[in-house]
Each structure stands twice: as C-alpha cells, then as structure tokens.
Structure 1
C-alpha cells in the first residue's frame, strides 16, 4: 500500500486506526459534538454574515428606486442656457428598510413553519439523515447567495437557508441530548454548542464585511459553503458505523411524542416561553441599535456600530461557563439560574437608552448577552430532562420546540422593531422589553419541582448503546397479572377441549384476576402512581411523591424520599 510522506504511515493502517477511533463510543461522542458545533457555527454565521454585505450590495446593483431629499436647485449656464441642477441632498432608497427587513426575517419565518415537520421526521428516522439534509440545503443556499445578483434570488437563498436550519439545528441539538445522557455531560455539551452559536453570530459581521471589502461578495459565502460541505462529509463518515451497530444490535427506534402533546405540557411551555423572552431583547435591538447610535452619538464611527456586539461574546461565554459550574453544584436550581438571567436582561434593557457613548453601551449589551447565556444554557438541558422523565427519550420534537422559540423571536424582530421605534421611540421599546422580561421571571418558579424524579445515568436507546432493560420490564404487579391471566386462559382452554364450558367459573376467575392484580402497564402508568400523572401531569411531582417505594415502574428514582 501507499505510504503517506509526512506521517510516514501506511494508508491501510492509518485508515484502520481512524475507523477504530470512530467506532470507540467516547471518541464517537466527541466527534459528533464537533460536527454539531460546526453546523451551528455555520448556520449562525450565515444568519449574520449578510448584515454588512447585502444592503450595500443591493444598492450597488440598483435594486431600489431612488430620489433626492433636501437638495437645493442651482441654475448653471450650459451653452448659453440656464439648466437646473440639484446640489446636495440625501439619496433616499424607496422601500429599502422594509425589503431588507423582510429579507433578513424570511429565514426565521421559514424555519418557524418547517420546524414542526422536521421534528416529526427526526423522531421517526433518527438524527443523522435529517442533519445531512439540513447541511446539504445550507450548502446549496450559501452557493446561491454567492452567485445571486438580484433581490429575488437572494430572498430565495435566505428562505432556503431557513429550511436547512430547521433540520440541521434541531437534529444537532437532539443528537447531543441523545449521545450525552448523563446530566452534567449533557449540560457541558450543550453549553459548548451555545458558545459556538454565540461566536458565529458575533464574528460573522466583521468576517463578512472585511472579506466583502477586500475580495467581493462571493468570497465569504464560498468559504462558508466549503466548510458546510466538509462538515456533511464528516457526518457521513462518522454516522456510518453508528447505523451499522444499531442494525447489528437489533435496537428498534421508539416512537417519539408528538410535538403538540409536548407543547401542551406546562413545564415545556414554560421553558419555551422563557427562551422566546430571552431572545426578544437581542432580536429587537439588532436591527434598530445602529440607527439609534447614529442619531444620538454624534462622534460614533462606522467601525464602532459594526463591532458593538463583538465584545459581548466574552460575557456570553462566561455565562455558559458559570451555568455549567452552578449546574454541577446545584442541579435542582436550574430554573432559578434561568430566572436570574432573565432578570439581568430586563435590568440591562432599561440601561441601554441611557448610554451616551460607545464604551458605556458595551456594558448593558454585555449584560444582555450574559443573561441570554444563563437562560439558554440552563433551559436547553432542562427540555431534554423533561422528555426523559415525562415522555419517551426521543429528542427531535422537543428541540424543534426550542428552535421554534428562537425563530419566533427573530422572525418578528426585524420586521416590527423598526415600526415600533418609529411609533413609540427607542426608549419606550427598551422599557417594554425590560418589563416583559421581568414579568416572566415569576413564571419560571413553575419548574422548581421537576427534579423530583431522576433518570438512570447512561441510558441510550437510539444510538450505539443497548437500552436499559429495566425500562422495558413490566412492574411486578403487571407480571403477576399476566401470570394469573395465563392460568385463567389455560383453565378455559381445558374446559373447551373437554367439551364443556362453565361460564360462571370463567367469569369468577377473570374477575378475581383483574381485582387481585389490578395494575397499569408502563405505557398507561409511566409514573408508577396508578395513572394519576396521566390524568393530571402536575401530579407527577406531587401525588406520585407520596408513594412509599423509591423505584417507579418506568425505572426512575424518586428523589423526594
């Protein structure tokens, strides 16, 4: 076989070593985390990289009708004739603000409507294929952005990106939740993913603006499309042995909970609402703060308006790190960490309109991003935990709900934020954002009792590891009921074979079996409380905790004992 010059290794030996590394579970999880983080980084870079590029590009290609405002008319002598000329004035691009706002928001709108379908598909067929679909669509949309030369083509590319994001983002977060089943590891993995999301959103504008000025519109999109293609190839390479192992082990994919059922759960609805409120501040400030800075800060420079969000990356990472550390020590108080983060956002929103300089404005912006990190890092693992203890451990629909929450905030932000500022002013907008955030803080107290039940560590029923058999064993009472029912059927069959049937005897045996061994199956009684939690989900942490035994029928430990 051929020898690789630099490594001085035989290609066959190197390939075998790589395959062994990929098939090793711990390395496999790390590689999957890298793939997901790169996908989330790309998606958010694509979301924000157009901010400094597209408005200027659309003006250059003459996409808008223009007219001058405030120009003076000056008559000049041309060939013994006085001809009027317009001097000075401001060029107005008609309909630019609305059209650009629609272009920016189209991705979030499409993603908002596609997410329910992508979540259902992920629950049915797994995580790797939908993520491959998402990366492929994102690659195509990025290539169209590079080649597009009209507003319609760019709008199509932006909408297509929303379809790809609905698959890639949801399946990526769900894949992390499925592979990292232990709470602390899941918290850390999702925190790393959130850091990549933040980094992509904040570094994309200077990245795109610099390359646009140096090399033109096409270069930043071509670079991002190539990285997207490499990420898809890496995903295909890693997930091939995973599917092979699932096929050999004979593990069947369980049926996930429908998304509408999850949305009706009060705990999940509370988390989704908090994610919306946490991202409203960012979604409403991003399209309006640059114009406000230009109008209120006379000494502001262009580079300062473009980089106002970049320093906030460090507080965001600090918020992720802080939440992970606090989760290790106080895992039952994640709801309180989210409440503190939402309160910090509200207070910082009040401070934004009072900033009189670029350097002072960095403080409330950093505080907002720090609060968002606290909310996201605490509630994303909480959503996975709620599915683990209250439903089936299939994560497509639950993280589709999380993606819907983000998309809802960013869909309405670019469209209505400008209108709100024109109507009630930038100061009132921030006051409303701050009040809404603070008003939602008490709602998070609803989550304080969700950790009464704790799943076993190391459970995984969708990937390479075998499912925990205890989860699929019937309770003792159910087993006794099945044994008694088999005895009853045996007696009835003997009577039939002997030529006579005593209906009274059969009815007595059947009634006795049902009365003495009355119980619920796992599907009917997942909480082990005689169906109380099924009748009322709030009793899952209340009435169920009064049981004397410490082990429920579905394999979860009651920590309240």
Structure 2
C-alpha cells in the first residue's frame, strides 16, 4: 500500500496541498494578533496604556514584511536545488517558526520567527508548485489541478484570520501556533513515509535562472500581474486592522473575521476558474480579474461599517484568485515551449513576485498611510492595477500557437553542469511517460 501511495500523483498533490495550507494559515494567524500584542508589550514596557494604534504601523509593517524579504532572497536559490529535500526543509522550518511564535514575548523574537517562515515559504512554494507542474504535463489537467492546489492558499488564509483572532481572544497567544506546529510535524512524518530521500539525487537546473526569464517579455508581464494583484492584499494586511481600530473600533475577533470575504473569494476563484480560464483564454480571464482587483481595492475605503467591507473584500479575493488560477499554470506552459520544462526557475520567479509584494506592501504601505492616509493609498493602488490591464491585454493578443508552441516539441531533458554526458530528466514520482 505504501508503494502505491509513493507512485500516486494524488498523494504528492495532497502533501503539497496540506503544506501550503499550513504555511498560509501561519501567515495570516499573526495578522489579527500582532497589532494588539505589540501594543500590550509596548504598554507594559513603557507603563503607558494609551499608546495610539497608528503608532504601531511601522513596527507591524516591518514584522510582517520580514517574512517576504527572506522569501525574496531564498526563492531563487530553491529553484536550483531539486524538490524533495527543499519540501522537507520547508516543513521543518515551518514547525520551528510556529514554536518560536508560540513562546515569543519580545518583538525581536517575533521578527526572527516571521523571518524563518520566509525560508519555509520559499521552499514550500517553489518546490511544491514545480512538483505539481511536472506531474501534470497536459495543459487542461495542469490548469485544473493547479487551481485546486492554489485553493489551499485560500483555505489557509480563510482559516488563519478568524482562527488566530478567536483563539487569541478566548484562549491565548500560544494556542494557534501550537496547533500549526503539531500539524506541520505530522506533514513531515508523512513526507518521510512517502518520499524516498535515499534515491538518486535530483539534478539542479544550473543553466536556467530567474535572470533568463526576466528577459522574456511574456513571462515578465505575467510576473508583473501576479505582483501587482498580490500587492493589494499585502497592503491591506498590516494597514486595514489599524485603520479599523482607529476609525470603526471593532472587537478583536472582528479583526480576523473582516478578512473572511476575500478569503472566500480567493478560494472560489482558484478552485472554479483554473479549468475555466484555460477554456476561455487565460490572458482574457486574467485581464478581467485584474480589473476586478483594481475596482475592489478602490472601493474598500468607502466602507463606513465593518459589514460594508464584505463586497469589496470578496471582489478583491475573487480577482486575485482568478489571476493566480489563470496565470500560474500559464507560466509552466510558457516554460514548456521555450525553456525545456525548467519549472524550478519559473516558480522561483513567481514566488519572488509574491514575496516582493508582501515585502514592499507592508513597508511602503505603513509609510504611505502616514503620508497619504489609508483611503488614498488604496484608491491609488486600485487605479494603478486598472492601468496595468491594457499592457497585459496587449501581451495576450499574440497568437496562442506562437505563445504555447507545440506540446510535442517540449523537451523534458536537462543537462547537469559538471556531468560529461547529459542526464535524462526523470519525473519525481510515478511517471507515466519517460524519455
């Protein structure tokens, strides 16, 4: 039975799905916790219980962006290191980061935990998506399965916000992090059972890197769309709770609940639009989704009650989910026809785009809120997103045949530097085709 699981594509997808879920659950669990926690720690240190919430913008932004900064640095290297070992390393890093979060009582230990999660996210995101792309070479199946896998991101976000807010309010700070640590440990055990770590080592793709892809206009346009759409959420995460605390003054549990609509929208977008985007045209669907992201971001500051945030938040999450469901599988197709199925490099670029958004978003967002105010920041970001749509549409007008090429011409071989003879590329698990 264990041998059957090791040869199953579905088992591999399940491992990646669970790990992405936990990573994004940890990502968002801290969002409703950190602003209030830092206020309490600062108040205890200064003996001042009336510190304004807005004064924490810079510290919260730095803490939340540290994860993305580390991920931004680590992701390009992970694309060259194979898949099995980075996946397990990501799981281990996630476990340790959760434990550090649970026991931290100082700002700098929280910063260390958030940074360590950046290593975990880089390993999980790049190696996980590369494995799924390799297992599903058929474009229609790849779009559908990748949409489902991306849904784990939405599910983790959906669970993380209210899970962190509720347990922090009613149980304590340690509870949500200890639950995530336990689940990460179980995922690591499953990996050790299913993945043969003693088998022949996977070959690094030394001749292909992010710099090569950055010279490709189509790949760069896709990465730019992913970066820009993700930036809207990256700005909201640290800035919206503080804006709400200063204006609408919600309960602590509402700071987590307010993100449920965009999480539901993302979950719907990724799960339902992967295959649909392939049938309708991935570029067209991505342009429409970018328009939705821009309009929704522009509308968020108009809310005068927490309940009025539901519609623009849902539209924002749906738009980002559809953008990812359309463009993330498209990246693999572009690499298939142009670079010989070097998925590690292209998904390192995709993770770099996401990391850049979550790095610049909290940092720049915290400072721009002070300079412009939260409403004008979101309206400006929405306008820029809409203005990007014509560029994305122009790139997508190229003939689909020239874009994707002939699938039969895809070369699934890589050459390893330092090996005098080429080494045939081998599927990670249970290959049903071979070179």
Shorter-chain TM-score bucket reads 0.7 to 0.9
Determine the structure 2 residue equivalent to 1:136: 92
Matching of residue 447 in structure 1 with residue 403 in structure 2: no
- Residue 172 of structure 1: which of 128, 135, 142 is its match? 128
Determine the structure 2 residue equivalent to 1:327: 277
CA contact (8 A) 2:231 2:358 kept: yes
Q: Give 1:178 deviation, angstroms.
A: 0.8
Determine the structure 1 residue equivalent to 2:36: 56
CA contact (8 A) 2:161 2:260 kept: no
Matching of residue 462 in structure 1 with residue 426 in structure 2: yes
Extract unaligned runs of 5+ from structure 2: 413-424
Q: Is the radius of gyration larger for structure 1 or structure 2? A: 1
Cα distance in 2, alignment partners of residues 269 and 293 from structure 1: 36
CA pair 92-434 structure 1, distance change in 2 beyond 3 A: closer
Cα distance in 1, alignment partners of residues 161 and 297 from structure 2: 23
Counterpart of 1:90 in 2: which secondary structure? coil
Q: Give 1:288 deviation, angstroms.
A: 2.0
CA pair 67-212 structure 1, distance change in 2 beyond 3 A: closer
CA pair 346-61 structure 1, distance change in 2 beyond 3 A: closer
Extract unaligned runs of 5+ from structure 1: 1-17, 69-88, 470-561
What pairs with 1:63-142 in structure 2 (closer than 5 Å)? Answer: 65-66=45-46, 90-92=50-52, 96-121=56-81, 126-142=82-98
Q: Give 1:175 deviation, angstroms.
A: 0.8
CA pair 133-302 structure 1, distance change in 2 beyond 3 A: closer
Cα distance in 2, alignment partners of residues 30 and 38 from structure 1: 12
Q: Give 1:349 deviation, angstroms.
A: 2.1
Determine the structure 2 residue equivalent to 1:279: 230
CA pair 365-254 structure 1, distance change in 2 beyond 3 A: closer
Determine the structure 2 residue equivalent to 1:223: 179
Counterpart of 2:79 in 1: which secondary structure? helix
CA contact (8 A) 1:186 1:381 kept: yes
Determine the structure 2 residue equivalent to 1:45: 25
Q: Give 1:448 deviation, angstroms.
A: 3.4
CA contact (8 A) 1:182 1:458 kept: no
Determine the structure 2 residue equivalent to 1:496: none
Cα distance in 2, alignment partners of residues 212 and 429 from structure 1: 29
* 364-373 or 95-104: bigger deviation: 95-104
Cα distance in 2, alignment partners of residues 427 and 261 from structure 1: 39
TM-score norm. by structure 1 comes to 0.69
Q: Give 1:256 deviation, angstroms.
A: 5.3
Cα distance in 1, alignment partners of residues 278 and 215 from structure 2: 30
Alignment RMSD: 2.7
Matching of residue 394 in structure 1 with residue 346 in structure 2: no
TM-score norm. by structure 2 comes to 0.88
Determine the structure 2 residue equivalent to 1:317: 267
Greater helix proportion: 2
> Higher relative contact order by CA 8 Å / sep ≥ 6: 1 or 2?
2
Cα distance in 1, alignment partners of residues 269 and 53 from structure 2: 41
Q: Deviations 1:413-438 (Å, cap 9, x if unpaired)?
A: 11221221221222321221121111
Q: Give 1:311 deviation, angstroms.
A: 2.4
CA contact (8 A) 2:54 2:242 kept: no
Q: Give 1:296 deviation, angstroms.
A: 4.4
Greater strand proportion: 1
Cα distance in 2, alignment partners of residues 314 and 37 from structure 1: 17
CA contact (8 A) 1:338 1:375 kept: yes
Cα distance in 2, alignment partners of residues 236 and 156 from structure 1: 27
CA pair 64-173 structure 1, distance change in 2 beyond 3 A: farther
What pairs with 1:206-245 in structure 2 (closer than 5 Å)? Answer: 206-240=162-196, 244=199
Q: How many residues end up aligned between the 2 structures?
A: 417
CA pair 441-261 structure 1, distance change in 2 beyond 3 A: same
Cα distance in 2, alignment partners of residues 308 and 395 from structure 1: 36
CA pair 328-100 structure 1, distance change in 2 beyond 3 A: closer
CA contact (8 A) 2:58 2:367 kept: no
Q: Deviations 1:110-133 (Å, cap 9, x if unpaired)?
A: 111111111122xxxx21111111
Q: Give 1:392 deviation, angstroms.
A: 1.8
- Residue 417 of structure 1: which of 359, 365, 368 is its match? 365
